[in-house]
Amino acid sequence: MRLLRGGFTIVAQDRYGCATHRSKGTCDNNVTVSKQEIEARVLGGLKDKLLAPELVREFIRAFQEEVNRANAEREQQFTADRQQLDSVRRKIAGIVSAIEEGDYSRALGDRLADLEKQQELLEARLSEVPPSTVRLHPRLAEVYAEKVQQLEQALNDPVIRAEAAEVLRSLDRPH
C-alpha cells in the first residue's frame, strides 16, 4: 500500500487521490479510489462498529431507560388525572346537593355544566391509559441490528446520500 504525503482530494468527478500528487507533484502516489468504494468502506465500518456488543447493550439500556421514563410520566399523569376526577366528582356532588336544597342559580348551573365537561374529558383520558408494564421485545438485539441495516440502506438512498456523506465527513472535523 502506498502512503499519501497529503490528504485525499477529488481528482476526477467521482474519484479521490493524493492531494500532494495532484497539486504539487511531489508525491509519486497516483492511485485513485472511487467515491463509491470509500463510502462503502465507511458504511461497512460504521455497521461493524454499531453492531459491537457494548453498543447493543447501550442501546438496550437507553431503550429501557426511555420506556421507564415514559411509563413514570404516564403514571404521574394518571395519578394527577385520577385525583382531579375525584375532586371534580366531589364538586359536582356539592352543586347537586345545593340544587336539591333549593339553592339553584344560573351560576351554579353553568359551573355544573363546566364540571361535567371536565369529568367527561378526565374519564375519557383515564380510559385510554394503557397498562404501564414494561415488556421488552424478545428480539431486541436483532431489532437493533435491523435498525443498523436500515440505516445503511437509507445512507445508500440517492435522495439523502449527499447529505449523509456530508454528515459523515463532519464527524471528523472539530466543532
Stated pTM of the model: 0.48
Mean pLDDT of 94-122: 92
Say how far apart CA 88 and CA 94 lie, in whole Å: 10
Exposed / middle / buried, residue 122 (Cβ in 10 Å: 0-12, 13-18, 19+): buried
Residues in a beta bridge with 32: 17
User: For residue 119, is pLDDT > 60?
Assistant: yes
Question: What is the structure's pLDDT at 140?
Answer: 73
What is the C-alpha separation between 89 and 85, in angstroms, rounded? 6
Question: Each residue of 16-54: pLDDT tens digit?
Answer: 888 888 788 788 888 888 888 887 787 778 777 777 778
CA–CA separation, 47 and 37 (whole Å): 15
Residue-level pLDDT at 28 = 82
The pLDDT, as a whole number, for residue 88 is: 96
What is the predicted pLDDT for the residue at 171?
59
More confident position, 127 or 136: 127
Confidence grade of residue 114 (pLDDT, cut at 50, 70, 90): very high
**Exposure string for 50-70, b = 16+ CB within 10 A, e = fewer:** beeeeebeebbeeeeeeeeee
E strand segments, 27-166 = 32-34
Q: Write down the domain spans for the chain.
A: 1-30
